[in-house]
A = this chain, B = another copy of it.
Amino acid sequence: MNTIKVGVVGTGYIGMVHLEILRRLGGVEVVAVADANKGLASAAAAKFGIGRVFRDADALIADTDVEVVHDCAPNNAHFDINANAIRAGKELLSEKPLALDSRESAGLLELAEKHGTLTAIDFCYRYYPVVQEAASRARRGDLGEVRAFMGHFLQDWLFYDTDYSWRLDPRVAGQANVVADLGSHWFDLVQFITGQKIVEVLAELHTCLPRRRKPKAGPLSFGAGDAGESEEAAITLDDYASLFLKLENGARGNFTTCQVAAGRKVDLEIQVFGSRESYAWSHVHPNALWIGHREKANETFYESPLLQTGETRKYATLPTGHPLGYHDAVFNLFRDYYDAVAAKRAGKPYRPAFPDFRTGHEMMCVIDAAVRSSKSGRWVEVG
């Protein structure tokens, strides 16, 4: 069997995660990497024995051997890279958020549909086995009607005013920081577990630290401020956001995200309250799903190939009780995606269950609505 040939654009932190996980898959081979920082790309290539190194994404896209492109560049490069890859006939797995705003993401979605591209977007949190289990149970009716939902995504990565990230710069990140970067993951979880779309939001975006020290050497993903020279920068994007949300069926929910919460690292939590039972999941203990009951003891469902139900069993990739981590969630998403790529290439039918550019566009619409709502102080419809 011929391996599927992959090119990865962007070899920073998340690009290296993609490379490692791609290596764990069978039948997939990375043949090219590209990064504006050519040294970074060369190091990645040397580490994994990848033959071709480009400074420029377009050159990688032009490589006819490359069948699938992974877009791991910053937000403001997503549109061009994704659009060019689609036009070049590549399959495409993009990092999130999909673009700078919902106008861009609508364009990408239309383009991908026109070209029949097999797209995916890296909303990896839904790929923890017990999150899949929650969604599966909800779909088969265990949850009942969704009545309410809530959650948060907290970090302390921007706790000090000497912390800085390119995500705070609207030219690179778009109109929002934390509600886009972290919020989009959570919104995807809500829709995935409940099977319903977010249709309306009322949001408050807030900047707790309106002045920060920005490294002169150029913005890193997350840079400790004591490294090198810095200059004062006015911050306009959100490091705190809180939202009221409505689903299609009228269910109410709310979500808060904040990156100045000392002691919270990647503290994503979601709770869904249905008419029959409840679910709660926290990324801090990512292998356990809490199932709440009124009439009997609550349950803690731990990922396990023996206990997972239906199709979710395949995501519990180790014997019962061996904890899975973030890498394994990404692995599960990639494996689903490449199963579809292989099926498409073989002319076989496939049913893409992974998040795709439609999902990515929906999340951009929620983010856009949140930004507009925060300005008006009013409920805003999504999309």
Contact = CB atoms under 8 A, between A and B. Distances in A.
Contacts of A328: 325, 327
A254 to B, nearest CB: 4
A217 interface: no
A27 interface: yes
B20 A48 contact: no
B208 A267 contact: no
Contacts of A285: 285
Interface stretch (A63-71, A84-92, A314-322): A314-322
Contact of A254 (B242, B271, B299): B242
A378 B376 CA distance: 10
B256 A254 contact: yes
Contacts of A326: 318, 322-325
A135 interface: no
Contacts of A256: 150, 254
Contacts of A242: 150, 244, 252, 254
A296 interface: yes
A156 interface: yes
A222 interface: yes
A280 to B, nearest CB: 8
A297 B299 contact: yes
Given A266-B320, A285-B285, A295-B307, 5 more contacts: A150-B242, A157-B320, A262-B294, A266-B322, A296-B307
Interface of A: 1, 3, 13, 17, 20, 23-24, 26-27, 29, 46-49, 147-148, 150, 152, 155-157, 159-160, 202, 204, 206, 208, 221-222, 224, 240, 242, 244, 252, 254, 256, 258, 260-267, 271, 273-274, 276-278, 283-286, 289-302, 304, 306-307, 318-328, 377-379
